[in-house]
Amino acid sequence: DAEITQSPRHKITETGRQVTLACHQTWNHNNMFWYRQDLGHGLRLIHYSYGVQDTNKGEVSDGYSVSRSNTEDLPLTLESAASSQTSVYFCASSGSGTHEQYFGPGTRLTVT
């Protein structure tokens, strides 16, 4: 069955370290998104991509970067982790011309 996976599911890192969160989908969707979820803020868009080599900034992109070298993967990189980036991160994907976004199971990141 097609699916979207995220790894790791849990990560603890130190302030200042570079961290990369993986997202992989097997639906062959063109559109991929990264959100962060925080209490009191709901889900906020970090970065998104409409296809290979395409990346765009979302509402809360500072301190994050993404790259899209193939259809299936959109890794999220925290260049220099900060305590304010402690959060749960969700990756999502959707097909071109379709409505539904499918979400991954999330990665809980703690920056100490």
Partner 1 sequence: QQQVKQSPQSLIVQKGGISIINCAYENTAFDYFPWYQQFPGKGPALLIAIRPDVSEKKEGRFTISFNKSAKQFSLHIMDSQPGDSATYFCAARLGSGYALNFGKGTSLLVTP
Stretch that binds partner 1, among 17-25, 60-68, 77-85, 104-112 (CB under 8 A): 104-112
Looking at the Cβ atoms of 8 and 50, the one nearer to partner 1 is 50
Within 10 angstroms of residue 85's Cβ, the number of other Cβ atoms is 21
Q: Under the criterion CB under 8 A, does residue 10 sit at the interface with partner 1?
A: no
Which one-letter DSSP state was computed for residue 83? G
Which one-letter DSSP state was computed for residue 73? B
Supply the DSSP string of 28-44, one letter for each residue. --SEEEEEEEETTTEEE
Within positions 23 to 62, which residues make up the interface with partner 1, using CB under 8 A? 30-31, 33, 35, 40-45, 48, 50, 58
Structure-token pair, residue 83: 């305590």
Within positions 59 to 98, which residues make up the interface with partner 1, using CB under 8 A? 90, 92, 94, 96-98
- List contacts with partner 1 (CB under 8 A): 30-31, 33, 35, 40-45, 48, 50, 58, 90, 92, 94, 96-106
